[in-house]
Structure 1
Amino acid sequence: MSAAADDPAAGDARLRPADPRGGPVLAPTPSNVNLPNALTLLRILLVPLLAWLLLVDGAGDVVFRLLAFTVFVVAAVTDRIDGVIARSRGLITDFGKIADPIADKLLLGSVLVIFSALGDVPWWVTVLILGRELGITLLRFWVIRYGVIAASPGGKAKTLLQIFALGGYILPFELWAPSPVAAVFEVVAAVLLYLATAVTVVTGVDYVRRALALRRAG
């Protein structure tokens, strides 16, 4: 009988070669039921609320747009917090590595689709970004038995650019009194979005390269 069968706790641990005297050290595997994963699920649950707030009156109501911006910021902040907590407390799980980027895609993808439908964002930008995100998600599942492709610094930069760009689109500048400042913010949001699109393509190519390398190594 295995040690895992003799000791139930042993089945919930993984080996780490950390003992300087030569022996392996048993470290508990983090449970999927933890705060970072809960924040990730919260971000997913906020997506329908955000979409509804943006669609009220064709996104033409200042109050609802401001509420939508608030929800968007809360969701974006949870993305930052869950990663910090997971790393600082050793709560990184395979579930979190997969669910976290999916939550990001749902959040940002819904905003892209809505603003493309409203005519504010070109459809080719939305199709390119979402096509890349869907392809990378499928790629993660394709190689999951060989290992998990964690988010890269480039991927995180891409997400950050998308958050700032779409946050600029959500803020109702055009609904306030027309002014040069509002026009400048609209241009900045558009530039950030096109920059995010370029980074999205570049990081997508990098993910494909890493996935193929992982598959060959497995």
Structure 2
Amino acid sequence: MTGTVPNALTALRLIVVPIAVVLLVVDDGAEGPARWWAFVLVALAAATDWLDGYLARRWEVVSAFGKLADPIADKALVLGVLACLVVVDGIPWWPLAILLVREVGVTIGRLAVASEVVIPASRGGKIKTTLQLTALLMFLVPGFPSWFDTIAWWVLVAAAVVAIVTGIDYARTIRDAARAHREGVAGAR
């Protein structure tokens, strides 16, 4: 039973994404009850990001599914909510574009080598995710003064910078994994 809890938390995070997106669309920038519910759901989803990894390590039930699905759930949450904030709140689109390109590239790269090796989230990737979630939560809180949004913006910019740096690092790791696999296959012949 304990082995399934971390994976269930990851799956729950994936379920929260469309609900939070719908709530933000319904709120349409009015900062009413739907925005508060979106904030609560995203905050809970962010907490499960930490909790699922902690429980998997503590209970020694780290799984290949979790190593792959956890980052995908993070990406879905961040990109889905950020896309809504770009549309509904008018946040500039370019951090979303940077994050989207980075996340799609890393995910495709991970999937390309998944049969040989699972590439878990790096420390830099975790920092990026923390910055992204912090910025999103700050943007989602209704009724705060504009200086709070300015801080959220700079946290989001920092997340975009870390995304670029870690994206390059992941590309190298994926390239090296693919090369090692090719060399292993060639050596076995």
Whether the TM-score (by the shorter chain) exceeds 0.5 is yes
| Equivalence map 1:49-198=2 (5 Å) | 49-173=19-143, 182-198=145-161
TM-score normalised by length of structure 2:
0.91
Q: Which runs of 5+ in 1 are unaligned?
A: 1-30, 175-181
CA-based RMSD: 1.6
Q: For this pair of structures, how many residues does the alignment match?
A: 181
CA contact under 8 A between 2:2 and 2:59: conserved in structure 1? no
User: How far does residue 173 in structure 1 lie from its aligned partner after superposition?
Assistant: 2.8
Question: Does residue 209 of the first structure (1) align with residue 172 of the second (2)?
Answer: yes
Secondary structure of 2:28's counterpart equals: helix
For residues 125 and 81 of structure 1, what CA distance do their matches in structure 2 show? 27
**Identity within the alignment, %:** 41
Indicate how the Cα distance of structure 1 residues 157 and 141 shifts in structure 2: closer, same or farther if over 3 A, else same: same
Structure with greater helix percent: 2
Unpaired runs of at least 5, structure 2: 182-189
Point out the structure with max Rg over C-alpha.
Answer: 1
Q: 1:53 deviation in Å?
A: 1.1
- Whether the 8 Å CA contact 2:128–2:159 is kept in 1: the answer is yes
Q: Distance between the aligned counterparts of 1:150 and 1:49, measured in 2?
A: 27
Counterpart of 1:142, as a letter, is A
Write the letter of the residue equivalent to 1:76: A
How many Å separate the matches in 2 of 1:215 and 1:82? 28
Amino acid at match of 2:7: N
Match of 1:45 in 2: 15
Contact 1:161 1:196 in 2 (8 A): yes
In the alignment, is the contact (CA less than 8 A) between 1:94 and 1:148 conserved in 2?
A: yes
1:216 match: secondary structure = helix
Separation (CA, whole Å) in 2 of partners of 1:173 and 1:100: 32
